[in-house]
Structure 1
Amino acid sequence: MNQTSNRHWLIEILPRHTRLTVAVKSLLENILRERQIEYLDINGRVKTLDSALEKIKRKKYSNPKSQMTDLSGIRVITYLESQVLEVTSAIRELFSVDEENSLDRSTVLGSDRIGYRSAHFVCSLGEARSQLPEYVSLGDLKFEIQVRTVLQHAWAELAHDRSFKFQTGLPTGIQRKLNLYAGMLEIVDSAFDSIAQEIDEYTVQLNNKSLNQLSEVEINSISISKFIKELLQHTYINIEYKDLDDDILKELADFGVKNIGQLEAMATDDFIRWYESNKASTTTFSLLRDMMIYTNFDLYFSNDVNWGAIDLQDYEIFASSFGKDKVKAALNENEIDVLDGNNNIIDINAL
């Protein structure tokens, strides 16, 4: 085909590839959501007419209709290496994969090419899906899917950016450093995956323990979440679980809580009754802070308290339970504002 014929062919087929890219992206998003496979991003692109013609010319394709497999391109970026394997498994089940033209570049490239360590598939929708009315005009089209971790993606973007300085053919000493740091990125990628697996295993171990068996377990975000779920099983308190940050963990440490047993000792029947009568719903942050305040109001507010504000309802609960003067003094000393329902600051002295 000459360039004129190529142009006519591309003008006819690129709109179909636009539809194909949208369809493939949607199918991938659905199956990853269904299987609860976490990922950072899925993006798709269709080559422009000019870029497709340029590639045909540069690659000297004699039969671009069969050789151009990347007019539609999808990229899946995961957080971890193990998720790359999960995504590739889903791709093989979802689409028809051209194994001869697909490859896992991490098995064929050296340690200095971390940015190119991605799984690369040439696919079609497959015979069964191609028979469906919504895909009938797309069944003969090929598309490419690339799967890589976020670190692999970052390195690849640097390597492909021609305005950046990481081109090939650098002086020997600089190239050696570049290769070394690329290898370090690969080690970090694997280390993150290993740590994530350890966290999963730790969570499973805790979930298999009863509340009594958690007594000596250290305070951390995972053990606290397990404790709260066990604690509230037989209460009327509805809780919104949120990841715990360093502030609340520091507050617990400053309060003297080092393990789950000490936290459990604070969750007395009196506290649960007080909480149920004052709060129908709460968050993990509020529950832990209120537990410390109820246990020892003076000790809690004598430590470094990182609050910006408190809503009027909580102020009224504390004032009723511990006395207005004590609560006002604690809030003033720690520069904590009281907000009304519209998030306006209330003059605490007027309460």
Structure 2
Amino acid sequence: MNAPRTPARALKSSAQRRRLTREANMSNETEVAERYHEQRPVFSSLAEIAATTLSALLRSRKVDFLAVSHRTKTLESVIEKVTRKDYADLSEMTDIAGIRVITYIESDVTRAAELVGTAFLVHTDKSVDKSEELSDDRFGYRSVHFVCELGDARIALPELAPFKGLTFEVQVRTVLQHAWAEIEHDRSYKFSGELPSVIRRRLNLLAGVLELADGEFGLLAYEVDEYTKRVQQSAKSGSLGEEELTSLSLLEYLKSGIDLPIATGQFSAKSTVVEDVIGELKLFGVDTVSGIKHLLTADFLAALMRHVPSTTVVGTFRRAMLFTDMERYFSQAWMKRWQGMSPETYGLLSERYGEATCCGQVISDTTI
């Protein structure tokens, strides 16, 4: 049995509708393109001003961040979104200008988000925390998105008046959230849509690992802060002695009023040289701050001042170990990070051990 034929008039009408739709779309795209080219310089300036303002605020409030970047949507991206969202006008888009803040840990995302709320006029009804959209058994894209205006106080400035009523988007995320977004979302690695269950499972596992790592970095940062506070409090209360010897505890010990009259130079807890000498001290058997006190005896400091007119804190500790037990230092603690011996140090050790011991037995055996 033959299927009923579609009337020619209906076919013609359908073709006309498709043609009219295409023409309407083309007309709309042309209008969007014209308005975009007119307004792009304004949105580009808006993005730069908002990013510069936010960067300055983050620094002034001591919020650690990796980067604050800004961009203006391309024409292709604008047309795609206007078409997909069926916007009637370009003004319905809220993210032509965009700013992205990348922090190291989640607690700084919170602090940065609070600054966004105080710095700009936030449209809370259009802003979203993407992590809240994930159910408790799902992992994936996590970032905080704000739709903002500069706000009345800033718009009152004559140079910012052209930006009145214009919106921009601020995204705040951690480094690991950014990595996931770049791979899964922004870089279009075809991870969206329907994937085979085996691949989707691996993708979810990866997202879960990144989320777990993000949380662990935040927890570690918190624990380091708490350790720092504890050591500083111990230094203030005079109970620093039993603290484990670390760069921080050593720094706090030196700041607590120890008198090293000939030590010069700035002591930095982050210096690799300091890390080296702490390693040597531990190999020498000094595991706590109180062990440092036992090295810096009155006899040593007096001899040091007689023979060495000027030295560093690190140099003082190394000479203290040599003065205490030169043979043990060279056999257990010396990591060969330094070579040679100054005449001043040689004089110090000769007074302590005698010329023969200093010159012959230990120094020649270690070939410094």
Pair in the same fold by TM > 0.5: yes
* 2:141 paired residue number: 116
Distance (whole Å) between structure 1 residues aligned to residue 106 and residue 63 of structure 2? 12
1:265 and 2:294 matched:
yes
* 2:345 paired residue number: 318
* 2:123 paired residue number: 98
Which residue of 86, 96, 99 maps to 1:74? 99
Q: Which runs of 5+ in 2 are unaligned?
A: 1-26
Please tell me the residue identity of whatever aligns with 1:253.
Answer: K
For 1:95-174, what aligned pairs fall within 5 Å after superposition?
A: 95-110=120-135, 114-160=139-185, 164=189, 166-174=191-199
The answer to which of 123-132 and 221-230 deviates more is 221-230
**Conservation of the 8 A alpha-carbon contact between 1:254 and 1:303:** yes
User: How much has 1:156 moved relative to structure 2?
Assistant: 1.3
The 1:293/1:70 distance shift into structure 2, 3 A limit, reads farther
For 1:194-343, what aligned pairs fall within 5 Å after superposition?
A: 194-210=219-235, 212-232=238-258, 235=261, 237=263, 238-243=265-270, 247-272=276-301, 274=304, 278=308, 282=312, 285-286=314-315, 288-303=317-332, 305-307=334-336, 315-322=342-349
Which residue of 183, 200, 215 maps to 1:175? 200
Which residue of 72, 81, 90 maps to 1:46? 72
Distance (whole Å) between structure 1 residues aligned to residue 53 and residue 315 of structure 2? 40
The answer to which of 204-213 and 152-161 deviates more is 204-213
TM-score by length of 1: 0.81
Which residue of 32, 53, 64 maps to 1:27? 53
Partner of 1:116: helix, strand, or coil?
Answer: coil
The answer to which of 182-191 and 51-60 deviates more is 51-60
Q: Identity rate of aligned residues, in percent?
A: 36
User: How much has 1:44 moved relative to structure 2?
Assistant: 1.2
The answer to which of 234-243 and 44-53 deviates more is 234-243
The 1:33/1:289 distance shift into structure 2, 3 A limit, reads farther
User: How much has 1:297 moved relative to structure 2?
Assistant: 3.5
The answer to which of 186-195 and 70-79 deviates more is 186-195
Which residue of 25, 30, 36 maps to 1:4? 30
Distance (whole Å) between structure 1 residues aligned to residue 309 and residue 47 of structure 2? 49
* 1:348 paired residue number: none
The answer to which of 174-183 and 298-307 deviates more is 298-307
1:89 and 2:140 matched:
no
**Conservation of the 8 A alpha-carbon contact between 1:111 and 1:179:** no
Partner of 1:137: helix, strand, or coil?
Answer: helix
The 1:241/1:162 distance shift into structure 2, 3 A limit, reads closer
* 1:186 paired residue number: 211
Distance (whole Å) between structure 2 residues aligned to residue 42 and residue 144 of structure 1? 13
User: How much has 1:80 moved relative to structure 2?
Assistant: 1.0
Q: Structure 1, residues 17-45: CA drift from partner, whole Å, max 9, x if none? A: 22222211211111111111111111111
User: How much has 1:160 moved relative to structure 2?
Assistant: 2.3
The 1:269/1:25 distance shift into structure 2, 3 A limit, reads farther
Distance (whole Å) between structure 2 residues aligned to residue 164 and residue 291 of structure 1? 59
User: How much has 1:212 moved relative to structure 2?
Assistant: 4.4
- Kindly name which structure, 1 or 2, has the bigger radius of gyration based on alpha carbons: 2
User: How much has 1:321 moved relative to structure 2?
Assistant: 3.0
Please tell me the residue identity of whatever aligns with 2:69.
Answer: N
The number of residues matched between the two structures is 332
Distance (whole Å) between structure 2 residues aligned to residue 27 and residue 226 of structure 1? 36
